[in-house]
Amino acid sequence: MLSDLLNKDTIQIDNNAHMNWEDAIRKAAIPLLKNKSIEDKYVEAMINSVKENGPYINIGQDVAFAHSRPENGVNKIAVSLLKTYPAVNLVNENHKIKLWFVLSAVDNNSHLKVIQQLAELLGNEEKVNSMLSAESVDELVNIIDSNNKEER
């Protein structure tokens, strides 16, 4: 399921990422706006959530997982990824992020398989390091696809 959602259309790389964390979340969400998985208000809800709650979306070294509530403008379950270089500070320099995931979920349960697969991917240090060193969208797609094949 994860490799169905994270593909060439939903993964981006920005190797000139001189932006702030809000811009990174906005850019990471662009593929989901384009494919109509989310609405503009969902992007703003993700940003406002970080402003209110701090850098809680920093789920591991170099990794952020932006999301909000389904009622904030979700049309369907989706995931996107933006890889940034150099790292972008999430709120402050203690939270440097290179892998920006965005998740949209239509309810509290339908996305659990996606979360599980993403947790397995991000729990594999070798895969994360491969993602951090990947230089193309194709490389990232292959890493994600290979992780899903290992799960079967």
CA 126 from chain centre, in angstroms, equals 18
CA–CA gap between residue 38 and residue 134 (Å, rounded): 27
Task: Based on the residue annotation, tell me whether 95 is a catalytic residue of this protein.
Answer: no
8 A C-beta contact, residue 50 and residue 56: yes
Instruction: Express each pLDDT in 19-72 by its tens digit.
Output: 999 999 999 999 999 999 999 999 999 999 999 999 999 998 899 999 999 999
- Tens of pLDDT, residue by residue over 87-127, are 999 988 889 999 999 999 988 777 778 888 999 999 999 99
Which of the residues 18, 67, 95, 111 is marked catalytic?
A: 67
Tokens 């998985």 -> residue: 37
Give the architecture-level CATH label for domain 2-151.
3-Layer(aba) Sandwich (3.40)
Spell out the long-range contacts of 147-152 with Cβ–Cβ below 8 A and sequence spacing 24 or more. 147/2, 147/3, 147/117, 147/120, 147/121, 148/2, 148/3, 148/117, 151/117, 151/120
- The closest alpha carbon to 4, from 127, 130, 111, belongs to 111
User: What is the torsion angle, in degrees rounded to the nearest 10, for the CA atoms of residue 101, residue 106, residue 107 and residue 110?
Assistant: -70
Give the start-to-end residue ranges of the domains of the chain: 2-151
